[in-house]
Amino acid sequence: LLLPDPGEDTESLEAVLPGEAPARYVKRVTSLKLDAAMERLRRRALPAAPVLCSDTTVARGRTIYGKPADERDAMRMLRELSGATHRVLTAVAIQHGRKRREALSDSRVIFEAMTPAQLRDYVATGEPMGKAGAYAVQGWVAAHIVRIAGSYTGIMGLPLYETALLLREFGVRNSRANPTATLG
């Protein structure tokens, strides 16, 4: 893993630009994360290898819902998403040497209309913190999801289908006989 160095400001990469559309935003942030990871690879003098980064955002119309700042912000986001359809966009990008490819997963999620008590109870679990749109699809909020159209793994944060397609472009193959991915 090419985790950020201590003191490296990774949160600033996620700042939304004025008027930025959700798909453009998530692809830009993913690209910036990949740039930073490639620089870490170079700086640490590690051998060349494929590097994968992804980012997820939640959007309703052109409104982007990032990670909540606090519980109050999480409540606001969830109130706005409650009883409505929203999009979950996850961009994934891979680079090896100078070759870079990216893909975008675009899914729709419909929440039931949640009561204030249901919202408070969910926020009280702490699960919304650090999550785009203030929720984790694989967590407690799943009991309030009416319908999903798209990629469940994309909503979780790494769309496996799109990721597998990109990995194949880089020569990473997987077989049933040998489920361990290897570089070809």
Residues identified as active-site: 55
Maximum C-alpha span of the chain: 53
Across-strand partners of 109?
A: 86, 148
| β strands within 20-76, DSSP E | 51-60, 63-65
Which residue carries 């929203």 as its tokens? 86
From residue 29, give the alpha-carbon distance in Å to each of 91, 149, 170, 176, 183.
9, 24, 22, 34, 27
